[in-house]
Chains A and B, each alone.
Chain A
Amino acid sequence: MRKILATLIAIASLGYSSAFAGTLVINTDLTDPAPKAAFEWAFTKFQEENPDVTIEVNNFDHEGYKQAIRNFLTTNPPDVFNWYAGNRMLPFVRAGLVEDVSDIWSDTGWVDGNLTDGMSHAKKPMTIGGKQWGIPYTYYQWGVYYRKDIFTANGISAPTTWDEFLAACATLKAAGVTPITIGSKYLWTTAGVFDYLNLRTNGYEFHMALTKGEIPYTDPRVHAVFDKWDELVKPGYFLENHAALAWQEAIAPMVNGEAAMYVMGNFSVALFKEGGLRDSNLGFFQFPEITPGIPMAEEAPTDTMHIASGAKNKIDAKRFLIFLSRADVQEEMNKTLGQLPVNSGSKVNPDPFLEAGLDMLNNAYAMAQFYDRDAPAEMASEGMKGFQEYMVNPDRRNKILERLEKVRQRVYK
């Protein structure tokens, strides 16, 4: 059905391009209630402000979209589509399937309001080859969520340096509390830990170069990251049996006081609260500094919208992206999404976690997109398997890094 609709639209656009110039075809995978509602609002508002444009939405289910996008960008491109920033958009940019929108980013006549000012901290992940390829509209912070009350009871305050962090872990462990909970069954949680250790030990540029495949995994600087990781794994600071637990299953230990910290994204707050934690006992702190002097970059997976290079209606598509970049639009959408607007001119709901995140990200040096988006798919899956194996068997580090290096050489050929 979807396909027929899309085909009809395509045929219609061919023959009656002038009459249908006001149709904007958008492909999305936003079937979850919050994103769906946020975008329905956005589409309605855009059409109100631009009565000459009609929006046609093709909605795919979340998992299927990741497959479908490979097909529709080549055979049946929409005007606008959802995707992600960073190296995740690289394959499509390289294949020439995405439209260059640097003109929107540099205020050359398109923009009212300073797009570059409001979004400069988010420019890097949208840039490939010196050009920008889409507009980010939402992201969320990663960091360390922790039990404020357990910390207080053990005389610890939120650590800002690596030594303070280790000391806190040691104190907690001595008191019978598992310092850090984690559920690594579905692998990506281990990447969160790796990414932060790398960002803090070696910096954002190094991390980007590594995920781009420019640095061997056997490099001593990568070993340095694992040396730091050893300081957490070897004394047993992580939850037992985490390889058998999904990330949600690792929430319970923190809720019932068995564990005190979780390296996580802000989407976990909803689950913490469902489990019974409140603002009074749940806290957030930025992942501590490791190598002094390295500017603090953060993990902030960003959702984006792009224009297909094969789009029929690029004019209205650009108008939509500009609309999407506005502070007021992002503010309203993110209220529904419960995440952070990218435009620094937007405000957030009064919520301690959102406010902490907004502050942190607006002042961040740069934003990484998470290992499985920054590294190509194959490298990511092998890397994360390696991280999981390392966390259970830290003495296999050399073998694991050698294997990852082999993969890197094959994948990044």
Chain B
Amino acid sequence: MVLCHPIFTVPNSTQLIYRKSSWWKRNQQRLTPWIFLFPGLLLFLVYVIWPIFNSLYISLLQWDGLSPAIYVGFSNYIELLDDEYFYISLANNLKWLIFFMLAVPIGLGLAIFLNQTIFGIRLIKSLFFFPFVISQVVIGIIFAWFYNPRGVIGPFLESIGLSNYAILADENFATYGIIFAGIYPQIAYCMILYLTGLNNLNTDQIEAGRMDGAKGLSLFKNIILPQLKPATFLAIVVTVIGSLRSFDMVAIMTQGGPWGSTNVLAYYMFETALSEYGYRMGYGSAIAAVLFTIMMFYILFFIYRMYQSEKKGL
């Protein structure tokens, strides 16, 4: 009886409880997402979002991490414009970007090559995927050993009568040696993406195409490739991001040498701010800011595409 006219009766404890649970019940749909989001958002804000802005601020300072910081405005950036190593790093990042992209078609090729059902193919596919699972540090160590003039490739060249060649000591080609090592696991990753994509092809379309007389290259171009677009999109994005992130390989194989010629922005930043000889937090942050800006283009592009596919309700 009391529950029918809650507004007009003197509230007693039962009614208060009713009101309380009804407020929660009414609002729980609105509040629950925020409660669930809270820990993740908090961590992310503290460790990712805020540091980005903090770094941008630090790039306006001159600071060695110990003594008090001095505000210097944009002078770090101006100095960067005159810095030889900055341009070398940019050029190397570009080389990484372009050559790393080879992982996508090579991965596709490998996927097509392996997309058969002979006995044991599953194990073989796993073995091809192997390099991705191993740490870049290990891959870097292995390749550095291979490249060492007294390692593997050098003595091998000498044994077949050619002269020894130490690629990591060659300022013109050392970067390619590192890229070659870095692309090894990346090809494996693209291969897996495409294998999955190939697995989910629309067989009716393929049959129809074959019946129409399309074969080989034209079948591939007109029917297969468009269906692989999601895989291609993901492969390109991840490869681009991976090429700009190339810290581990450079750190292990050459530490930016010989004399700074294999430096990339990611490693150069670390070198200026945190290595044994580097105490320049402000300058390092400026380099990081440049790297961040470059990557933001790709990030925004990726988000834009995702947003479009969200809207389409895919």
Does B66 lie within 8 Å of A381, measured CB to CB? no
Does B66 lie within 8 Å of A385, measured CB to CB? no
- Can you name 14 A-B residue pairings with CB atoms under 8 Å? A74-B66, A95-B67, A187-B257, A241-B149, A243-B166, A243-B257, A244-B148, A244-B169, A244-B258, A245-B149, A245-B150, A372-B277, A377-B279, A385-B260
Determine the chain A residues whose CB is within 8 A of the CB of B150 once the complex forms: 245, 249, 252
Does B276 lie within 8 Å of A70, measured CB to CB? no
- Output the residue of B65, B258, B278 with the most chain A CB within 10 A: B258
Does A403 lie within 8 Å of B84, measured CB to CB? yes
Task: Name the residue on A nearest B254 (C-beta).
Answer: A185
Contacting residues of chain B (265-289) with chain A, CB-CB under 8 angstroms: 276-280
Query: Quick check: is A100 within 8 A (CB to CB) of the other chain?
Result: no
Shortest Cβ distance from residue B39 to the other chain A in the assembled complex, whole angstroms? 27
Q: A95-B67, A249-B148, A403-B84 are in contact. Are A243 and B278 (CB under 8 A)?
A: no
Does A388 lie within 8 Å of B279, measured CB to CB? no
Determine the chain A residues whose CB is within 8 A of the CB of B169 once the complex forms: 185, 241-244, 392
Does B166 lie within 8 Å of A388, measured CB to CB? no
- Select which of A63, A242, A377, A389 is within 8 A of B259 by beta carbon: A389
Tally of chain B residues near chain A (CB < 8 A): 24
Determine the chain B residues whose CB is within 8 A of the CB of A380 once the complex forms: 277
Query: Quick check: is B139 within 8 A (CB to CB) of the other chain?
Result: no
Does A388 lie within 8 Å of B277, measured CB to CB? no
- Select which of B149, B259, B278, B279 is within 8 A of A386 by beta carbon: B259
Determine the chain B residues whose CB is within 8 A of the CB of A241 once the complex forms: 149, 164, 166, 169
Known: A243-B166, A244-B258, A378-B280. 10 other contacts (CB 8 A): A66-B276, A242-B169, A244-B149, A244-B166, A249-B148, A249-B150, A378-B277, A385-B259, A389-B171, A392-B171
Name the 5 nearest CB pairs between A and B, nearest first: A244-B169, A381-B277, A244-B166, A243-B169, A389-B259
Does A388 lie within 8 Å of B259, measured CB to CB? yes
Determine the chain A residues whose CB is within 8 A of the CB of B84 once the complex forms: 403
Task: Name the residue on B nearest A393 (C-beta).
Answer: B171
- Output the residue of A95, A186, A244, A245 with the most chain B CB within 10 A: A244
Does A244 lie within 8 Å of B278, measured CB to CB? no
Query: Quick check: is B103 within 8 A (CB to CB) of the other chain?
Result: no
Determine the chain A residues whose CB is within 8 A of the CB of B149 once the complex forms: 240-241, 244-245
Query: Quick check: is B168 within 8 A (CB to CB) of the other chain?
Result: yes
Determine the chain B residues whose CB is within 8 A of the CB of A252 once the complex forms: 150
CA distance A293 to B280 in the complex (A): 42
